[in-house]
Amino acid sequence: MVRLPDRSGARSHRRPGGPRARRAHDRAHGAHGQRTAGHSLTHRRIHPGEPDPGRFTALRSALTGRSIARQMFVLQVVIVLLLVVAAVVALYLQARHDSTQEARNRSVAVAESFANAPGTREALSSPDPTAVLQPRAEAARKATGVDFIVVMNTDGIRYTHPKPDRIGKKFVGTIAPALAGQTVVEEVNGTIGRLVQAVVPVKAPDGKVVGLVSAGITTANVGGAANRQLPLVLFAAAVGLALATAGTALVSRRLLRQTHGLGPDEMTRMYEHHDAVLHAVREGVLIVSGEGRLLLANDEAHRLLDLPEDAEGRHALDLGLAADTADLLASGRVATDEVHLVKDRLLAVNQRPTDVRGGPPGSVATLRDSTELRALSGRAETARERLNMLYDAGVGIGTSLDVTRTAEELAEHAVPRFADFATVDLFDAVLGGGQPEATTPLRRTASRGIREDAPLYKVGRQIRFVDSSPQARSLRSGQATLEPHLASAPGWHAQDRERAAQVVEYGIHSLITVPLRAGTLVLGVVSFWRSKKAEPFDTEELALAEELVTRAAVSIDNARRYTREHSMAVTLQRSLLPRRLPEQSALDIAYRYLPAQAGVGGDWFDVLPLSGARVALVVGDVVGHGLHAAATMGRLRTAVHNFSALDLPPDELLALLDELVGRIDQDEAAEGGNAPVTGATCLYAIYDPVTRRCTVARAGHPPPALIRPDGTVEFPDVPAGPPLGLGGLPFETADLELEEGSRLVLYTDGLVEDRTRDIDEGLELLRGALERAGESPEDTCRVVLESQLPARPSDDIALIVARTQALAADRIAEWQVPNDPAAVAEVRASVSRRLTVWGLDELTFTTELVLSELVTNALRYGADPIRVRVLFDRTLICEVYDSSSTSPHLRYAAMTDEGGRGLFLVAQLSDRWGTRYTPEGKVIWAEQPLPDVSA
pLDDT, tens digit, for every residue of 642-661? 999 888 999 999 999 999 88
φ/ψ of 917, rounded to 5, equals -105, 145
- Taking the C-alpha atoms of residue 351 and residue 339, their distance in angstroms, rounded to an integer, is 12
Mean pLDDT of the chain: 81
State the amino acid at position 811 in one-letter form.
R
Torsion of Cα atoms, 772 then 777 then 783 then 786, to 10°: 160
Question: H or E element: which one contains 427?
Answer: strand 421-427
Q: Label each residue of 580-646 as H, E or C.
A: CCCCCCCEEEEEEEECCCCCCCEEEEEEEECHHHCEEEEEEEECCCCHHHHHHHHHHHHHHHHHHHC
pLDDT of residue 893: 46
Q: Let me know: does 924 contact 880? Beta carbons within 8 Å.
A: yes
CB atoms within 10 A of CB 764: 12
pLDDT of residue 735: 94
Average pLDDT on 899-916 reads 78
How many percent of the chain have pLDDT more than 70? 83
Task: Report the relative pairing of strands 693-699 and 720-721 from DSSP bridges.
Answer: parallel
How many percent of the chain have pLDDT more than 90? 29
Question: For residues 564 and 63, which has the higher predicted lDDT (pLDDT)?
Answer: 564
- Taking the C-alpha atoms of residue 861 and residue 41, their distance in angstroms, rounded to an integer, is 113
- Tell me the per-residue pLDDT of 745-792, one tens digit each, with 9 for 90 and over: 999 988 888 777 778 888 898 999 999 988 899 999 999 988 877 666
pLDDT of residue 746: 95
Q: Let me know: does 871 contact 807? Beta carbons within 8 Å.
A: yes
- Tell me the per-residue pLDDT of 304-322, one tens digit each, with 9 for 90 and over: 888 888 888 888 888 888 8
- Tell me the per-residue pLDDT of 211-252, one tens digit each, with 9 for 90 and over: 898 888 887 666 555 566 667 777 777 787 787 778 777 776
Average pLDDT on 526-552 reads 91
SS3 content of the chain, % helix, strand, coil (to 5): 45, 25, 35
Write the DSSP assignment of 829-893 as a string of letters: HHHHHHHHHHT-GGGHHHHHHHHHHHHHHHHHHS-S-EEEEEEESSEEEEEEEES--PPP---PP
Name the least confident of 78-82, 426-430, 826-830: 78-82
Q: Let me know: does 31 contact 360? Beta carbons within 8 Å.
A: yes
pLDDT of residue 296: 87
Average pLDDT on 576-596 reads 85
Q: Does residue 418 sit in helix, strand or coil? A: coil
Q: Let me know: does 745 contact 800? Beta carbons within 8 Å.
A: yes
Name the least confident of 2-11, 450-459, 781-790: 2-11
Average pLDDT on 367-394 reads 72
- Tell me the per-residue pLDDT of 412-453, one tens digit each, with 9 for 90 and over: 999 988 899 999 999 998 988 888 887 788 999 999 999 989
Q: Does residue 688 sit in helix, strand or coil? A: strand
Assess whether pLDDT exceeds 80 at residue 193.
no
Which candidate, 845, 903, 902, 913, places its Cα nearest to that of 878? 913
Name the least confident of 25-29, 506-510, 721-725: 25-29
Task: Name the band, by pLDDT with cuts 50, 70 and 90, for residue 805.
Answer: very high
Assess whether pLDDT exceeds 90 at residue 3.
no
Say how many Å lie between the first and final Cα of the chain, rounded.
125
Average pLDDT on 104-120 reads 85
Q: Let me know: does 677 contact 760? Beta carbons within 8 Å.
A: no
Task: Name the band, by pLDDT with cuts 50, 70 and 90, for residue 23.
Answer: very low
Assess whether pLDDT exceeds 70 at residue 258.
no
- Taking the C-alpha atoms of residue 563 and residue 432, their distance in angstroms, rounded to an integer, is 7
> What count of residues does the chain have?
935
CB atoms within 10 A of CB 79: 12
Task: Name the band, by pLDDT with cuts 50, 70 and 90, for residue 346.
Answer: confident
Taking the whole predicted model, whether its pTM rises above 0.75 is answered as: no
pLDDT of residue 45: 41
Task: Name the band, by pLDDT with cuts 50, 70 and 90, for residue 877.
Answer: very high
Assess whether pLDDT exceeds 50 at residue 88.
yes
- Taking the C-alpha atoms of residue 519 and residue 526, their distance in angstroms, rounded to an integer, is 17
- Tell me the per-residue pLDDT of 41-61, one tens digit each, with 9 for 90 and over: 333 444 444 444 444 444 454
Average pLDDT on 580-596 reads 87
- Tell me the per-residue pLDDT of 472-520, one tens digit each, with 9 for 90 and over: 999 999 999 999 999 989 999 999 999 999 999 999 999 999 999 988 8
Q: Does residue 733 sit in helix, strand or coil? A: coil
* Sign of the dihedral through C-alpha 150, 156, 157, 159: negative
E strands, 477-546, where?
A: 481-483, 510-518, 521-530
Average pLDDT on 205-214 reads 87
pLDDT of residue 910: 86
Q: What angle do CA 689, 692, 696 make, to 5 degrees?
A: 100
Assess whether pLDDT exceeds 70 at residue 704.
yes
**Residue 536 DSSP class:** P
